[in-house]
Amino acid sequence: MATALTSENVHDAWSALVRDVRTAVLLTMRKERPFGSHVPYVFGSDWTRAYLHLSRLALHTQHLLTDPRLSLFIAEPDGLEKNPLALRRINLQGEAVVLSPDASSYDAIKERYLERFPQAEMMFGFGDFALWELRLEEAHFVLGFGQAFVSTADTPARWVHQKIERLSFENS
């Protein structure tokens, strides 16, 4: 029998995933339908804040300016030796806002972003780029078969196992 994972174990697994996988799929709303874009990211102190450096010219940025709702999806890379259905992955939902250069956290976030993506330094000088703060409210983290956990921004360090409920069908 497998040992039950604690919130600390799940946090450690989340930290390892986002350390090892540097890009995510950003899902925005386009004409009332999901639209996916591949984006580099950095996180704040926990999963409730993520930061993207986006060009105003990109479609996903135009979508966020119209509708700030989003989902950020991060997944372990697939490989021939891996079972694609058991890959670690996290789906986060929330809203995005532009992070003002006057914000007290701006310089620290920019520094963290450039530590992870030094090739982006030149783009910080372009007028159409801005740092965006993703204010994430819900997380769904899958570590493998039967190991799905959820968390909310109210208690980000608390990961609860997702219970699989059986549906019962009545004969008509």
Q: Residue ranges of the domains in the chain?
A: 7-160
User: Whole-angstrom distance between the N-terminal and C-terminal Cα of the chain?
Assistant: 39
Query: What's this model's pTM, rounded to 2 decimal places?
Result: 0.90
Say what the pLDDT of residue 49 is: 98
DSSP state of 155: S
DSSP state of 118: G
Residue by residue, pLDDT tens for the chain (172 residues) are 355 789 999 999 999 999 999 999 999 999 989 999 999 999 999 999 999 999 999 999 999 999 999 999 999 999 999 999 999 999 999 999 999 999 999 999 999 999 999 999 999 999 999 999 999 999 999 998 889 999 999 999 999 998 744 333 444 4
Say what the pLDDT of residue 54 is: 98
Say what the pLDDT of residue 163 is: 75
Contacts of 124 (CB under 8 A, 6+ apart): 53, 110, 114
Q: Any idea which fold 7-160 has?
A: Pnp Oxidase; Chain A (2.30.110)
Half-sphere exposure of 109 (CA within 13 A, CB side): 25
From the number of C-beta atoms within 10 Å of its C-beta (0-12, 13-18, 19+), residue 86 rates as: middle
